Structure 1
């Protein structure tokens, strides 16, 4: 989990200039999740939104399948990932908690569809300075294919 300065988050040039890992951690995680799901199209992949409790920030979207998850870190054991995410968020925002909500893949690249979920408002890939989808596809090349089912 990364936190970036408001100036960098609001300025399209500064946001685009962030290193890939930070870019996909702080504001474009949904684009990375969508690219992953499109590349590895299997029925076991689920997009999960961590919806922070009322009064908190720290939204995040990742891909889950069985006992593993994928986000800007790469692959992680699902339980360790959850523990790490909560521990880190609670360090920044004492009392932080979130509800995991499964999202359909098409919501990840549609501002209109994302807004049908209370508290969610996602940018479409072309609403960044440049289209973020090719950047996500290129970032995915750094990682091996997903673990086999049951792994």
Structure 2
């Protein structure tokens, strides 16, 4: 699968206000918009022998990030699976029509969620962590 812009899957108002409706979206949509940060952390946990980092994108000059993903050796993992990082950044830049900044995330999940107004796993309608593990498992990493 080629990288796709996260913005293609933005949640509707009802998806933003009703966690059950958001949960019932297809996996790719769920992890593109609303749970990308959880997917990134789960990806890192699933491959402890690799130095997987967490990065995010934000609009240039903005404080808040809008898309979070895992990175390893020039590759990224998000709702689109594994893709070269330049491709992921380019498709999001093209879709948004704005310059984007990459941000290294160096805090843990709880602090990230607090800083960027993202949901912790227990704030979802059901447990998103197992769903994220299953999704990571369906995408072969580049080192295999």
- TM-score normalised by length of structure 2: 0.84
User: Match of 1:97?
Assistant: 99
User: Match of 2:131?
Assistant: 135
User: Match of 2:112?
Assistant: 114
Larger mean Cα displacement after TM superposition, 39-48 or 122-131: 39-48
After superposition, the Cα gap between the structure-2 partners of 1:4 and 1:115, relative to the gap in structure 1 and judged at 3 Å, is closer
Shift of 1:135: 0.9
After superposition, the Cα gap between the structure-2 partners of 1:7 and 1:57, relative to the gap in structure 1 and judged at 3 Å, is farther
Task: Give the Cα–Cα distance (whole angstroms) in 2 for the partners of residues 137 and 66 of structure 1.
Answer: 21
User: Match of 2:3?
Assistant: none
Shift of 1:54: 5.1
After superposition, the Cα gap between the structure-2 partners of 1:7 and 1:55, relative to the gap in structure 1 and judged at 3 Å, is farther
Tell me how many residue pairs correspond in the alignment: 137
Instruction: Give unmatched runs, 5+ long, in structure 1.
Output: 91-95
Residues 1:32 and 2:39 aligned together? yes
Q: Secondary structure at the match of 1:138?
A: helix
Whether contact under 8 Å (1:69, 1:78) holds in the other structure is yes
